[in-house]
Chains A and B, each alone.
Chain A
Amino acid sequence: MLEDSCYLRSSRPLYRLSSMKKSNPNVRMSLQTLRVLETFLENPSDALSGADVLKRSGMASGTLYPILLRLEAAGWFVSRWETIDPAKAGRPRRRLYRLTPGGLQLATNVLTSFTFRRGLPA
C-alpha cells in the first residue's frame, strides 16, 4: 500500500524504472505512468476524467486506463462518479480520478527523483 515506498529510497538507477516492479509489487513504474502522474501534478487538487488526461497527456487510451486502474488499486488515486444528472446535463456522468494525499507525496517524490537522476533541471 501507500506505506510501501521503500523503492523511492532505493539507489537503483532510474533508467531501470520499469524493473522496479520487482521491489514494489503494487505499482509498475514506467515512463507512461510518470506522464500520467505529471498530468495530475499540474493541478493536484483537480479531479480529472480519463478523457481529460487523454487530452492533456496525448496518451493512447490503451495505455492510460490500465495505468489509472493500477494506480487506483495501489491507492495512489481515488475515483468517483461525477455528480450530475445526465438527463439535465445531456451527457453521461464521467468517472473522475484524483490523487490521494499519500499518492500526491509519492508521485512528487517519484517525479523529482526521476528528473534529478536523469540530470534534467527540476
Chain B
Amino acid sequence: MSPSWVDGPISWIAQRAARLAPEAICHRLEEEWLADLAALDGPMLQLRFALGCCLAALAMRADRVGATLSKNVRNTVDDLPAARPWDGVEIPFARRRARIRKEAFTWLERMRRGLRDEQGSELRAWLRRRSHRVYIAREAAQRDRPEDLIVLSEIFQINTAWVEPRKGRSPTVNAAAALMAICIAAVPLFYTHYSMPGLILGPALEGSFMEARGTVYNSGQRALRRVGLRDGTQIVMNRGTRIAVLDSDQSSSVPLVRGEATFTVPRQAHRSFYLTVGVRHFGTMAATFNVRLASKDTIELTVLDGAVGVQALSSTACTDAARGCDVEPPVPTLLRARQMIDTEPGSDSARTLSLFEALAQIAWQRG
C-alpha cells in the first residue's frame, strides 16, 4: 500500500484528469479511475496511472466518445456519481449539486415514462427554482435527448447558455485561479515587507496608508518648501521630500516618507508631536530638530535648539496617535540641543555636536 500522504495528491490528479474528459462521462470516469487507482499497489504505479489518466481524458475528448456513449449505453441513476463514504472531505455545495442533479435525472426519466396527474404539479413546484431548471435542462442536453428539451421548453424558457457546452474553464474556476495567483504573488511581497520593512512596500503601503488619513506635502526636486501646521509647527522641507500631516486634538503626527526636513515645534500644553521616519517612531513635546532619512534604515536626527525631549515610540503608540487616541507623552530625556542620534539597523548612536557641526546639519537650507 502507498503511504497515506501520497494518496491525496495522486487521487487529486486522477480526479482532475476525469474532469478533462467529455462532460457526459466525466463523473463516471472519476469514480472508475479512483476505484482502479485504489486497486493498484505502490505510489509510483499509482502516480503513473493518474498521469496516464490525464492523457486518456485528452484522447477521449479528441475522440468525442462521450456523446456516443451517452447514446449507446443505457443511462441509469446508477451511472450518476456515487457517494463516497471513504473520503470524508466534502466540497461545499457539491452535495447539493449532486442532489439536484439526481432529482433532475429522476424527473427526466419520469417524463419519458409519462407523468401521473399529481406528478405534474410536483414537477412544476420543483421547477420553481432557477437552479433546478438549469440542471434539468443541462442534464437533458448532456444526455443528448432533444425530445426532453422540447418538452421542457414548453414548461419554461430554456436559456441557450444553460445547454451549450461550456468553452474553457468555468468562471468559478477562473476566479479561484486568479485569487490563488494573487495570494501566491502577495506572499513574497508581504514576507519581504515584514522582514525588511520599507524595502518594497514602505513608501507604497505604509506611506499611502498614513497619507490616506492626512494632508500630503511634497517639495520639488529643485526647490525647498516651507509648511506651517495648524498647531504652529514650522517645517522646512529639503528638495525631494514627502511628508504627511495627521492632526488631532491631542497631537500631531507626521510621517516622513522620504527626504529631509527641519521641524520647529512650539511648546503647547497637553499636545504632543510625533514623527515617523522609516521604521522609527519619535515623539517630542517641543524642539527644533532636523531629520534626514538617508536610507530605509539610516536616520539622522539632530536637535538644534531648546529644551527638547525625544523618545523612540513603539509602532502601536504612534498608530494610536495617528488615530487620534490619547497616548502618554514621551519623557523628554534622550537628546538635548546640539545632540545628534544616528540610527542604523541594530544600533543607535547618540553624540554631542559642536555648534559648527550642528549648523552644518541644516546647511542645505542655504543652498
Contacts and interface: CB of A to CB of B under 8 A. Distances in A.
Interface string B55-70: 1100110010100110
Nearest to A1: B72
B68 A94 contact: no
> Which size class do B's interface residues fall under?
35 or more
A3 to B, nearest CB: 14
A95 interface: yes
A41 interface: no
B53 interface: yes
A69 B65 contact: yes
A117 interface: no
B29 A51 contact: no
Nearest to A28: B63
Interface stretch (B77-85, B240-248, B319-327, B348-356): B77-85
Interface in B32-73: 32-40, 48-56, 59-60, 63, 65, 68-69, 72-73
Contacts of B54: 62
Contact of A86 (B52, B78, B85): B85
Interface string B99-115: 00000000000000000
A102 interface: no
Contacts of B193: none
Given A86-B82, A93-B82, A95-B28, A66 B56 contact: yes
B25 interface: yes
Contact of A92 (B34, B48, B65): B34
A87 B69 contact: no
B260 interface: no
B53 A81 contact: no
Given A87-B85, A95-B28, A62 B72 contact: no
A73 interface: yes
Interface string B174-187: 00000000000000
Contacts of B28: 95
Contacts of B31: 92-93, 95
A45 B72 CA distance: 21
A60 B29 contact: no
Contacts of A60: 48, 52, 55
B82 A72 contact: no
The secondary structure that dominates the B interface is: helix
A64 B49 CA distance: 10
A50 B36 CA distance: 6
Contact of B53 (A65, A78, A87, A92): A65
Interface in A54-75: 54, 60-66, 69-70, 72-73, 75
A64 B73 CA distance: 19
Contacts of A39: none
A9 interface: no
B196 to A, nearest CB: 47
A93 B35 contact: yes
Nearest to A50: B36
A90 B87 CA distance: 11
Nearest to A87: B85
Contacts of B73: 72, 78-79
Contacts of B60: 65-66, 69
Contacts of A87: 85
Interface in A33-48: none
Interface string A81-97: 10000110011111100
Interface string B198-219: 0000000000000000000000
Given A52-B39, A72-B69, A93-B35, 12 more contacts: A49-B35, A62-B55, A66-B60, A69-B25, A72-B72, A73-B65, A87-B85, A91-B35, A92-B35, A94-B32, A94-B36, A95-B36
A-B complex: 5 closest residue pairs judged by Cβ atoms: A62-B55, A61-B52, A62-B52, A51-B39, A51-B36
12 contacts: A50-B36, A51-B37, A54-B49, A61-B50, A63-B56, A65-B60, A70-B65, A72-B72, A86-B86, A91-B39, A93-B82, A95-B28
